[in-house]
Structure 1
Amino acid sequence: MEKLPKLTIPVIVGVILLIILVAKSSVTISSGHAGVLYQTFGNGVVTDEPPLGEGFHIIAPWNKVFVYEVRQQELSEKMQVLSSNGLEIKLDASAWYQPVPKDVAKLHQEKGEDYLQRVIQPAIRSAARSVVGRYTPEQLYSTKRDAIQEEIFEETKKILDKQYVQLNEILVRDVTLPPTIKDAIERKLRQEQESLEYEFRLEKATKEAQKVRIEAQGKADANAILSASLTDKILQDKGIDATLELAKSQNAKVVVVGSGDSGLPLILGNN
């Protein structure tokens, strides 16, 4: 076997070192991410320049890049908090959040890569305890879910806006009460519903009775007005008109003039 030329081994070693150097000097940032540059022989985390954006970058081999996802992310939290009267409430909520891209270097420098556990979770839990503690279990169960969701969002956002994290939404998926409290609330709600239904039927019946009384009074008033306006002369005139009309019919009849109690004609034998 022939010996390798004297320059072959140094060339091979040089190529290997060059590959390692290139590998150490390059970084690729994926979509939806940003890179925080750390200068080993400089001032550490670079905060006075924008973070490294998506794509391929060349850096000094002795420096480091910490990659952060800056897209919207979701955190699911199951918490146990106390209501205004001291009862334990289980809250199931989600938070939509993302690091502020331009401040990701400060986030890395001050909070670190585990900022989720250091900042976001404590903020949400603190806000949830504060907000839920203002309401009774009945309010939480029936009418205040949207309100507590909005209030938890506002209180959490105030905290995170100072921590280089953008909070987009808080969603309260479920509020679980102790079974005995839940059953008592449901019974009360059913009773209230039945009471409202009874009041509705009673009001409807009262209005129907009032309508009948008004109609009856109207008829009585009409009859009274009609009776007051009818005189003997008017009745006689109406009787004569009716007799004349009947006399025109083809049916056989006998008309006795002036034989009625009021002097009106009598018609006999009408077939």
Structure 2
Amino acid sequence: MNRFHFFSHKFGLLAVLVLGLIAGTGCYTNIRPGEAGLRYHPLTSGLQRDLLTNALYFYAPWNDIILYPTQWTSYKEKVDVLTRDDLTINVVAAVILRPVPSEIYNLQIEIGPDYYEKVVRPQFRTSVRNALSAYSMIRISKETPKVSSDIRLALGDKLRGKHIEIDDVIIDDIEYSRPILTAIEGKLTKEQEQEQMKFEINIAKKDAEITVIHAEAKAKSTAIEAEGNAQAIVIEAQAKAKAQKLIAAQLTKQYLQLKAFENPNTKLLLVPTGKDALPMIFNMPDSGRIPTAPVDASPQP
């Protein structure tokens, strides 16, 4: 029994010594969240397929653990681009990507941990140049989301089967040369002047339309007033004509004689006529006397 305890004690000390030696030589790896690793045993089984995740792993000094980041990582590139209108600009673009976690073993076998420098970077820069060469300089700044989508699609096609997945591509900045900036400022100034001119023309058109509307309304009002006056004159004339017609219908000979007798200013009331229809002449006596006999103006036999 004592011998068993002795050997157990010695074995425990040996294990502690081995662990101490391993820890002293740095033969352990702490894999944190957002990382994954592969065991590599060069003297025995080589690269292991099993994916190591969040834990502390010890291994012999002649073995190793290869780490890969599994978090999304952003990489930026500054690329000189020749646009469709033959202008050179510098574009700062960023790509967000990571290894496919379930394909890290294949990525290690085919490319390795420096996959961005070996594969992604040259393909990314080429995709940026090819995509932006289809756009004019002005359209690049106006259609940034469309340009970013084109780059992402092109890069995705080039990285298909490379065990890498892309989250997004972003146009971070566009740098123009001084001559280009001067030309852009001049164009913007002209556009602003044209917009101001259009605005002033629209204001003048509105004023003219208002003036025409007022003139038409005034002319219409005048025409309505003139038509009303004309209708009033016609109605008045018709009323007068009707009245005159009624009066004329009532003006008989007896009525006129009656009115003549009733008029106090009338001095000659009646002119009698003789047999020959000639007026009868009376010798008017002196004032206040009535003639006794008429003077016969007919010729004597």
User: TM-score of the superposition, structure 1-length normalised?
Assistant: 0.72
Q: Look up the match of 1:55.
A: 55
Shift of 1:174: 1.2
- Given that 1:94 and 1:170 are in contact with CA atoms closer than 8 Å, whether structure 2 keeps it comes out as yes
Provide the residue aligned with 2:97 in structure 1: 97
Task: Assess if the C-alpha contact under 8 Å between 1:81 and 1:133 holds in 2.
Answer: yes
Aligned: 1:224 with 2:232: no
Give the 5 Å matches for 1:25-64.
Answer: 26-41=28-43, 44-47=46-49, 49=50, 51-57=51-57, 62-64=62-64
Deviation readout 1:53-91 (Å, 9 max, x if unpaired): 111346676542101111111212112122224332111
Please give the residue correspondences for 1:247-262 in structure 2 after superposition, counting only pairs within 5 Å: none
Alpha-carbon deviations, 1:205-261, whole Å to 9, x = none?
Answer: 1122112202210221122122212314889xxxxxxxxxxxxxxxxxxxxxxxxxx
Counterpart of 1:90, as a letter, is: N
Contact 1:137-1:177 within 8 A present in 2 as well: no
**1:153 touches 1:170 (CA, 8 Å); kept in 2?**
yes
| CA deviation after TM superposition for structure 1 residue 131, in Å | 1.0
CA contact (8 A) 2:37 2:53 kept: yes
- The one-letter amino acid paired with 1:114 is D
Aligned partner of residue 46 in structure 1, secondary structure: strand
Letter in 2 for 1:182: L
Q: 1:121 corresponds to which residue?
A: 121
- Equivalence for 2:174: 175
Matched residue SS, 2:89: strand
What is the CA–CA distance in structure 2 between the aligned matches of 1:56 and 1:15, rounded to whole Å? Answer: 17
Match of 1:207 in 2: 206
Using the TM superposition, give the Cα deviation of residue 28 of structure 1 relative to its aligned residue in structure 2, in angstroms.
Answer: 2.6
Normalization by structure 2: what TM-score? 0.65
Distance in 1 (CA, whole Å) between partners of 2:192 and 2:127 is 34
Matching of residues 103-182 of structure 1 within 5 Å: 103-140=103-140, 142-182=141-181
Point out which structure has higher relative CO (alpha carbons under 8 A, 6+ apart): 1
Taking structure 1 as reference, are residues 232 and 100 closer, same or farther at Cα in structure 2, changes over 3 Å only? same
Q: Assess if the C-alpha contact under 8 Å between 1:91 and 1:175 holds in 2.
A: yes
Q: Is the 8 A contact 1:29 1:53 kept in 2?
A: yes
- Work out the CA distance in 2 between the residues paired with 1:208 and 1:143: 36
Match of 2:284 in 1: none
Identity fraction in percent: 26
Q: Kindly tell me: are residues 122 and 201 of structure 1, through their superposed partners in 2, closer, same or farther at Cα, counting changes over 3 Å?
A: same
Query: Where do 5+ consecutive residues of structure 2 fail to align?
Result: 1-6, 237-301
- Which amino acid letter does the alignment assign opposite residue 20 of structure 2? I
Aligned to 2:184: 185
| Aligned residue pair count | 227
8 Å CA contact retained: 2:22, 2:59: no
Structure 1 or 2, whichever has the larger Rg, is 2
Q: What is the rounded CA distance, in whole Å, between the counterparts of 1:56 and 1:122 in structure 2? A: 36
